[in-house]
Amino acid sequence: MDLTVSFNHIKLKNPIILASGVWDLPYTEIVDFNKLGGVVYKGISLKPREGNPTPRITETPCGVINSIGLANKGVENFNKEVLPLLKKFDTAIFVNIFGESIEDFSRISEKISDVSGIEVNISCPNVKKGGVSFGRDPKTAYAITKAVCKNTSLPVIVKLTPAASNIVEIAQACLDGGASAVTACNTYQGLVIDIESKKPLFDKVVGGVSGPAIKPQALYKVYQISEGVEIPVIGSGGITNYKDVLEYLIAGAKSIQLGSVIFNNPLAPMEIIDNIIKYMNEKGYRNLKDIRECIDE
């Protein structure tokens, strides 16, 4: 049975990728990273960032909402302290990068090497500069993508925001800028009110909603892009089990990312891989191409 995925110089042993921001190195003691298709290390910036004040995360009826603010120790720390540890695993390693300007993205991308690819974050919903504002504008999305691609020989994946008025247009702009793929999509913007203080729970007001509640919407974004743009799509949003993965693959995704599900079930990646194999055996499928079918809107 063949679970491998290959597109635009990106090769995965299976379609299961850990999304950025939901795990760190201690998680390698719980899940065998050697069995994963890939991992995306949490968003890093040119210099260390403290992130947003606490509280940073809270539960919602069907998921979580966070306002982390891309807290990280910077690209130099990643290269010296994190990457050597991740390289011990036989899996594709991607690093998510964030900047407050096109120049930031350009400079960070120059400093990253010896990984499987770069994921460009133009979609964080809870930062003051950059983030969603970059991901809503096709001209900016194009300019950032082009700047990153100019400064690296690595495959470039752009993580899109669902807040874009026309996500297909944004995906096309990323393709025109040289992107190898897009991730669809980041969290949805949301709000939580503290009824005692009568103020927003988060200092930055808006947070990013993830979890099962967003799956139908994110799935539709994947379908729209797959139908409208000749670019590989990595599906992300609300995936909790192998059936969700199958839906994304059938909708057009080449692979998927797992995020907030691991908060409730740290072993979810292993269970999903095992269940996909079981499903394929039962159906007599030889590879992932056998799963995918054309669907009409």
What is the reported pLDDT for 288?
94
Digitized pLDDT (tens) for each residue of the chain, 297 residues in all: 899 999 999 999 999 999 999 999 999 999 999 999 999 999 999 999 999 999 999 999 889 999 998 899 999 999 999 999 999 999 999 999 999 999 999 999 999 999 999 999 999 876 767 778 899 999 999 999 999 999 999 999 999 999 999 999 999 999 999 999 999 999 999 999 999 999 999 998 999 999 999 999 999 999 999 999 999 999 999 999 999 999 999 999 999 999 999 999 999 999 999 999 999 999 999 999 998 864 544
- Closest by Cα among 165, 193, 192 to 64: 192
3-class state of residue 164 by DSSP: coil
Could you please report the per-residue DSSP string of 195-217?
A: TTTTEESSTTSEEEEESGGGHHH
Number of domains in the chain: 1
In a domain, 196, yes or no: no
Residue 261 lies in a domain: yes
In a domain, 38, yes or no: yes
Residue 171 lies in a domain: yes
Q: Is residue 269 part of a domain?
A: yes
Does residue 57 lie within any of the structural domains?
Answer: no
3 state DSSP class of 3? coil
Query: What CATH number does the domain containing 76 carry?
Result: 3.20.20.70
The answer as to whether 58 is a domain residue is no
**First CA to last CA distance, the chain:** 31
Rounded to whole angstroms, how far apart are CA atoms 83 and 112?
A: 10
Task: Tell me, yes or no, whether 201 lies in a domain.
Answer: no
- Nearest-5° Cα angle at 95, 8 to 235: 55
Between CA 123 and CA 121 the distance in angstroms is 5
Tokens at residue 172, please? Answer: 């096309």
What residues make up the domain containing 70? Answer: 5-51+66-188+209-290
CA distance 31 to 267: 7
- List the catalytic residue out of 62, 124, 149, 174: 124
Is residue 149 annotated as part of the catalytic site, yes or no?
no
Q: Amino acid identity, residue 83?
A: L
Strands (E) across 132-291 are located at: 156-159, 181-184, 188-191, 193-194, 199-200, 206-210, 233-236, 255-258
